[in-house]
Amino acid sequence: MNNESTPLLSVQDLGKDYGGQIGCTDVSFDLWPGEVLGIVGESGSGKTTLLNCLSAQFAPSRGAVIYDTRVEGQRDIFDMSESERRLLMRTDWGLVRQNPRDGLRLGVSAGANVGERLMAIGARNYGEIRAVACEWLEKVEIDTGRIDDQPSTFSGGMQQRLQIARNLVTNPRLMFMDEPTGGLDVSVQARLLDLLRGLVTRLGLSAIIVTHDLAVARLLAHRLMVMKNGRVVEQGLTDQVLDDPQHAYTQLLVSSILQP
C-alpha cells in the first residue's frame, strides 16, 4: 500500500529550546514503516523533549517533522491546521505515557477508555463499540469480565496494557512510547515487553520508544539513538550500538549495565 521508498516519519534538524537552555538540538532521522526506533540516554539528555516534539505535544523551536499521511502523502505536522493535527493524533498515532494515569481516563470504565477514540471519530453504536473494546482487551490479555471496572482498580501492569489497547483501537501506524515499562517490576515488565513485541510484529506498527533501560531497547528496538545533553551522539542498529559502542558516552552507558 505505502510507497516503500518514502519514510513514515522524517525528522530534519529538529531543535527545542527552553529559553536559553537547549532541550534538544540538531536531531535528524528517518523512520521507515514497520521499524522500531529506541531513544536511550540518561536523565535530562532530552529524550522526552524530543518525543514530545515528535508527537506534536510541544512546538519545536527549529526544524521539521514530516509525516507520511494516509491520504495526502508527506506533510509537515506543524504546517497542518490544529484540527488536522489532532485528528491525526487520535487516529493514526498512539501515545503511551510512562504513568498510565496520565494516559487513561480514570473516572470511567475500561470499556469506555478503549472506546473513547472510536466515539471521537464518530462511532455511535453501543453494541459495536463494546464488541471492539472486548476484542482489544483480549489482545492485551485483560480478562473481558473486567470491561466495566474502573482502571483505578487495575494493577500497574494492567493499566499500562489498557493504555496500549486504548491507543491501538483505531489501528494507528505510529506509536510513541515514553518509558512504557517504567515503574513495573521485572516479571510484569517481561510480559509487557513480550506483548509489545508481539503486537508490533503482528500489526506492522512503527514505534518510537524512549527508555533509559538498555535491556528494553535491545528487546524491542531495531535501531537505537543515543542522546546526551540534547544531542544525538551515536545511532545505528541496536546490536551494533550495544555490542560495539563507538562514542565514549555510549561505552560508559553500556558498561554501566548491572550483570546479575
Partner 1 sequence: MNMSQSQEQADIVEGYNFAYLDEQTKRMIRRAILKAVAVPGYQVPFGSREMPLPYGWGTGGIQVTAGVIGADDTLKVIDQGADDTTNAVSIRRFFARTTGVATTERTKDATIIQTRHRIPERALSEGQILVYQVPIPEALRWLEPRETETRKMHALEEYGVMHVKLYEDIARFGRIATSYDYPVVVNDRYLMRPSPIPKFDNPKMDNMPALQLFGAGREKRIYAIPPYTKVKSLDFEDHPFEIQKWDDCCALCGAKDSYLDEVVMDDEGGRMFVCSDTDYCEDRRTEGHIGPMGTPLAAE
Residue of the chain from 38, 111, 151, 245 that contacts partner 1 (CB under 8 A): 111
Task: Please choose, from the candidates 48, 7, 10, the residue with its C-alpha nearest in 3D space to the C-alpha of residue 180.
Answer: 48
62 sits near partner 1 (criterion: CB under 8 A)? no
Count of C-beta atoms within a 10 Å radius of residue 214? 21
127 sits near partner 1 (criterion: CB under 8 A)? yes
C-alpha–C-alpha distance, residues 12 and 65, integer Å: 6
Task: Show the cell assigned to 249.
Answer: 558516552
Residue of the chain from 31, 53, 54, 129 that contacts partner 1 (CB under 8 A): 129
Task: Show the cell assigned to 104.
Answer: 487513561
Kind and range of the H or E element at 92?
A: none
Residue of the chain from 18, 72, 73, 119 that contacts partner 1 (CB under 8 A): 119
Task: Please choose, from the candidates 49, 63, 120, 65, the residue with its C-alpha nearest in 3D space to the C-alpha of residue 90.
Answer: 120
105 sits near partner 1 (criterion: CB under 8 A)? yes
Question: Are 142 and 159 spatial neighbours (Cβ–Cβ below 8 Å)?
Answer: no
82 sits near partner 1 (criterion: CB under 8 A)? yes
Residue of the chain from 120, 131, 248, 257 that contacts partner 1 (CB under 8 A): 120
Task: Please choose, from the candidates 63, 62, 60, 2, the residue with its C-alpha nearest in 3D space to the C-alpha of residue 34.
Answer: 2
131 sits near partner 1 (criterion: CB under 8 A)? no
Binding part of the chain for partner 1, among 104-112, 164-172, 182-190, 238-246 by CB under 8 A, reads: 104-112
C-alpha–C-alpha distance, residues 118 and 138, integer Å: 17
59 sits near partner 1 (criterion: CB under 8 A)? no
Kindly state the smallest distance separating residue 166's Cβ from partner 1, in Å: 11
**Binding positions for partner 1, 145-184, rule CB under 8 A:** 147-148
126 sits near partner 1 (criterion: CB under 8 A)? yes
Q: Which residues of 118-157 are buried (b: 16+ CB within 10 A; e: fewer)?
A: beeeebeeeeebbebbbebbebbebeeebbeebbeebebb
Binding part of the chain for partner 1, among 43-51, 59-67, 82-90, 157-165 by CB under 8 A, reads: 82-90
The residues, any chain, with a CB within 8 Å of residue 203's CB and separated by 6 or more, are 168, 171
Binding part of the chain for partner 1, among 125-133, 134-142, 177-185, 230-238 by CB under 8 A, reads: 125-133
215 sits near partner 1 (criterion: CB under 8 A)? no
4 sits near partner 1 (criterion: CB under 8 A)? no
Kindly state the smallest distance separating residue 55's Cβ from partner 1, in Å: 17
Kindly state the smallest distance separating residue 148's Cβ from partner 1, in Å: 5
User: What residue ranges bind partner 1 (CB under 8 A)?
Assistant: 82-83, 86, 105, 108-109, 111-112, 115-117, 119-122, 124-127, 129-130, 147-148
